Amino acid sequence: MVWKDDVRDVVVLYCTVPNLEVGSSVARVLVQEGLVACVNLIPGLQSIYRWKGEICEDSEVMLMMKTVRSRTEEIAKRVKSLHPYETPELVSLPVRGGLEGYLAWVREQACVGCLRSAQRD
């Protein structure tokens, strides 16, 4: 089988950052530490939002991160420590299906970090 439905463990996390420099820095740390398999940096976002009673509009870059659900708490802590925003946007979306080979690769890469964490304990 090539396509896998009813995937439960793979997730996509979205996070916005102020620019490509910050995005690249965050992405590299997350991949190097084995927390995520891959991060796509998507420039050119224009965000309009309310912050502390004011309407704000900013250019941002979206980070689209592929990982496994069991790593999301560690990722959230790491993103918060690296991110310049007071309250970073970080949301998780479930993956409902995908190519089996790709999903296996995501699991394998995200588990590299699991092994590193276990070795430190």
User: How far are the Cα atoms of 9, 25, 33 from residue 61, in angstroms, in the given order?
Assistant: 26, 12, 21
What is the CATH classification number for the domain harbouring 33?
3.30.70.120
Predicted local confidence at residue 29, as pLDDT: 98
Can you name the residues that pair with 19 across neighbouring β-strands? none
- Cβ-in-10-Å burial (0-12, 13-18, 19+) of 59 comes to exposed
pTM for the structure as a whole: 0.89
Predicted local confidence at residue 118, as pLDDT: 55
pLDDT digits (tens, 9 = 90+) for 85-117: 999 999 999 999 999 999 999 999 998 766 555
Range of the domain at 75: 3-120
CA distance 72 to 10: 10
Walk along the chain (121 residues) in steps of 10 and give the mean pLDDT of each run. 91 99 99 97 98 97 98 98 98 97 96 62 54
Residue 44: phi and psi, rounded to 5, are 90, 15
CA distance 11 to 86: 24
Can you name the residues that pair with 61 across neighbouring β-strands? 17
| Number of domains the chain contains | 1
